Amino acid sequence: MMGVLVFPDFQLLDAAGPISVFDIAGRFAGVRPSIKLLAETPGPVRSSSGVEMFARGLKAAGAISTLIVAGGQGVDLAARSPKILAFVRAMANRGVRIASVCSGAYILAEAGLLDGRRATTHWRRTRQFLALYPKVKLEPDRIFVRDGNIWSSAGITAGVDLAPAMAAEDFGDEVAQRTARELVLYNRRNGGQSQFSSLLELKAPGGRFGALLTWARENLNAPLTVEALAEQAGMSSRHFARAFIAETGTTPSKAIERLRIEVARQRVQSSSEAIEAVARLTGFRDPERMRRAFIRAFGQPPQSLRRAARAG
């Protein structure tokens, strides 16, 4: 039995996406899905789009085994609700599997469920989240993260990536794969992949590190260590690393890897260069290291991307 927690001005897809996934997965598994929409105040709950969904009160949660917490424009107010926070803590203490979609992570963090745990949220909220919840081990470039019985996911559609992974745990991989096909998902992405929007942000870097990232992009075959980047930026290594995370939402090493991935992808898809040469010219050095980076970012190795580009 699953519960989905919403609040005024929640993001509709944060709730509807996982609900649809578990509905379809349950039918494929031969189990009639039991899904409850929950809210602090029962009755129609207005989403940020204006569309309303009818919710039961928190006491109607009953014996749910999974709780998914939506995000949305109203999350800041919801995260200050004593009743909502007490409810989420009670579910966690009872051993319920809990997941957040997008900014729903704020509710989990405010309830203390993410202290000392790995988690993620929408990349645009990274700076604020880090400032508010320094005890959380935030992984800002992940689609979804699981730490024990607590799951969290990135922006909006990432909930549709998280839900099949949870359904696979409940019903098995075959059901999860059939569900993904039924939803016409191109690929059921794993949580280790990067948030695509973050990758795009680094392709056109702005802010005070824009010039540095442009320089790094033009010198990818150099050993771009934190020390080298800090020297180029005219800062101490420690201050540079902290400032970079606050500005971009990711670490310098992950940012450089993304730049290398993007340039390498372009060369793999648009040229006939040997994979080994692409790895060397983009600073990966080792083709195997580049292959692992591609799988994390795109879910496919370089050779598959090249074949797909040529077939298209």
Which whole number is the average pLDDT over 48-60? Answer: 96
Rg of the chain, C-alpha, whole Å: 21
Domain that holds residue 257: 196-311
| pTM of the entire predicted model | 0.65
pLDDT digits (tens, 9 = 90+) for 189-223: 444 444 443 444 543 345 678 788 888 888 999 99
Cα–Cα distance measured from residue 287 to residue 34, given in angstroms and rounded to the nearest whole number: 47
Which whole number is the average pLDDT over 49-74? Answer: 96
Helix (H) or strand (E) segment spanning residue 99 = strand 97-100
Q: What is the CATH number of the domain that holds 175?
A: 3.40.50.880
Residues 161 and 233 reside in one and the same domain? no
Q: What is the CATH number of the domain that holds 237?
A: 1.10.10.60
Cα–Cα distance measured from residue 163 to residue 153, given in angstroms and rounded to the nearest whole number: 10
Per the domain annotation, does 188 fall within a domain? no
Per the domain annotation, does 190 fall within a domain? no
**More confident site: 84 or 292:** 84
pLDDT digits (tens, 9 = 90+) for 104-121: 999 999 999 999 999 999
Buried b (16+ CB within 10 A) or exposed e, 204-215: ebeeebeebbee
Q: Determine whether 102 is an active site residue.
A: yes
Domain-ending residue, one of 182, 213, 243 = 182
Asked if residue 41 has pLDDT above 70, the reply is yes
Residues 281 and 304 reside in one and the same domain? yes
- Sign of CA pseudo-dihedral 56, 58, 62, 67: positive
CB hemisphere CA count around 5 (13 angstroms): 31
What is the SS3 string spanning 135-146?
Answer: CCEECCCECEEE
> Phi, psi (5° rounding) for residue 3?
-120, 145
Cα–Cα distance measured from residue 117 to residue 114, given in angstroms and rounded to the nearest whole number: 5
Catalytic residue among 12, 19, 75, 102: 102
Residues 269 and 300 reside in one and the same domain? yes
Asked if residue 185 has pLDDT above 80, the reply is no
Per the domain annotation, does 301 fall within a domain? yes
